[in-house]
Amino acid sequence: MRKPIIAGNWKMNNTIRESKALVTELLPLIKDANCDVVLCVPFTDIKSVVSLTKGSIIKVGAQNVHFAENGAYTGEISATMLKELKVNYCIIGHSERRQYFGETDETVNKKIAACLKYKIKPIVCIGETLQQRESNQTKDILKNQIIEGFKGYKSKDFEKIIIAYEPIWAIGTGKTATAQDANSTIKHIREVLKKYFGLSISQKTRIQYGGSMNAKNAFELMSMPEIDGGLIGGASLKAQDFSKVVNYDKK
């Protein structure tokens, strides 16, 4: 019922030249994928990656957006600018943006609106730190991020929204949540969605797992009933590795 979605998050990696080489190598490797495939690339790579992937199954995403239409926000990029470049997805509220760039549930909430207005699908990241996990706060943290981040959004909006559950302690650390752990936390996320937004939204919303997902563990994670995809950092930077995650169902 929920189509799997595998998204690469290149973070601050790949010049235009490097991105061309990576995408050129990747395209033939993923052409028979059974899932939605997205590459969230640096702003500077968008134009060339959109042009290289035209007519393929790869859709292009950004990694951030400002919530305003335009104005005196030095260094920022708006959703209308992204739309003009044919961006289809945008990561919102990644933990690195929350940690280093002051992103909050409130800015997440506004950025979702900016994306939806321009028919850009938001990939909204939520997740707990190691310290929060160890002090048993995971459920509360996720609940708050959901209630505040998605405040005011309705069923029609959730059709476009993708949630990425990324336990912060698993990002870039090589530590992955066990498939069972990730599955049960995502189940909890669905329970919160059900309670605050309704049964249908909780059943229909696609929820990815992110945090050291790679060629080796993708199959097991993707076999879990609650996990609908992955947000892949490190392993999206090599065509071979990322293609194996995308082709997780082809053993």
Using the minimum distance from each CB to ligand PGA, give the nearer residue, 224 or 235.
235
**Which residue from 221, 86, 110 is spatially nearest to 166, judged by alpha carbons?**
221
- Judged by CB under 6 A, does residue 212 bind ligand PGA? yes
Residues in the chain: 251
Among the candidate windows 62-70, 138-146, 165-173, 193-201, which touches ligand PGA by CB under 6 A?
165-173
Q: Which range, of 20-28, 63-71, 187-195, 205-213, touches ligand PGA by CB under 6 A? A: 205-213
Residue 9 in contact with ligand PGA, rule: CB under 6 A: yes
Q: Check if 66 is active-site.
A: no
Burial of 199 (0-12, 13-18, 19+ CB in 10 A): exposed
Determine which one of 96, 103, 128, 166 is catalytic: 166
Q: From the CB of 238, what's the least distance to ligand PGA, in Å?
A: 12
**Is residue 234 a contact residue for ligand PGA (CB under 6 A)?**
yes
Place of tokens 């997740």: 127
Q: Which stretch binds ligand PGA (CB under 6 A): 30-38, 53-61, 104-112, 233-241?
A: 233-241
Question: Residue 193 or residue 218: which is nearer to ligand PGA going by CB?
Answer: 218
Question: Of residues 93, 167, 229, 233, which one binds ligand PGA by CB under 6 A?
Answer: 233
Which of 4, 93, 210, 229: binder of ligand PGA (CB under 6 A)?
A: 210
**Mask of contacts with ligand PGA, 167-186, x by CB under 6 A?**
----xx--------------
Which position among 94, 96, 103, 128 bears the catalytic label? 94
Based on CB atoms, which residue is closest to ligand PGA, 30 or 231? 231
Q: Is 166 tagged catalytic?
A: yes
CA–CA dist 243, 184 (Å, integer): 27
Binding site for ligand PGA (CB under 6 A): 9, 166, 171-172, 210-213, 231-235
Residues with a known catalytic role: 94, 166
